[in-house]
Structure 1
């Protein structure tokens, strides 16, 4: 069950349309141009997310950090690159909390 503080973090992260869009796009990592099947389990490179969003590198990174801190995505470093994927287990836990609370 998510605490009230965790729920506030999630609601803040989801209050921005660009962050919500990132989360939706990460649902289908193979929809990103150049995505390799062997990388699906670690996620999508931040550079590919940035390119698709059309935002600057720092803004994209800040948005992804906020989603990570809210427990909605997981970051994995591979060399100098960071990959992001949805945290499906935590998202399921969030939805269960929302059903119980509301």
Structure 2
């Protein structure tokens, strides 16, 4: 039986695919310092960044950014939290750190 606190194995291929797109890399980079890029958000950044703010930051349509966020979430690079009608996104630092460590060990 698996330990419930054990993180799921990294999906390295999904992460590499997610990182292959410059828009997704820009989203991850901007989420690293949300106070710098999204400081005008009304709700606390501890919840994450509202999807609408990410849309505006990327200057792309809501549907395009939503698709990029879905790829990042599927790869485990971001997490989401619904608060009322809004969805907030944050970087998943443990997965990002594990991926970097994996790549450093394997390459």
Fold-level match, TM-score > 0.5?
yes
> Which structure is richer in relative contact order (CA contacts within 8 A, separation 6 or more)?
1
Q: Secondary structure at the residue paired with 2:47? A: coil
Runs of at least 5 residues in structure 2 that lack an aligned partner in the other structure: 1-7
For normalisation by structure 1, the TM-score amounts to 0.89
Q: Does 1:23 align with 2:12?
A: no
Partner of 1:92: 97
| RMSD between aligned residues | 1.6
- Aligned length, in residue pairs: 99
Return the offset for 1:42: 1.7
Partner of 1:64: 69
- 1:24-63 equivalent positions in 2, closer than 5 A: 24-31=29-36, 32-36=38-42, 39-63=44-68
Q: Which runs of 4+ in 1 moved over 2 A?
A: none
| Match for residue 8 of structure 1 among 7, 10, 13 | 13
Deviation per residue, 1:37-71 (Å, 9 max, x gap): x6222210000000010111111111001001111
Contact 1:2 1:94 in 2 (8 A): no
- 1:76-91 equivalent positions in 2, closer than 5 A: 76-91=81-96
Q: Which has the larger radius of gyration?
A: 2
Partner of 1:101: 106
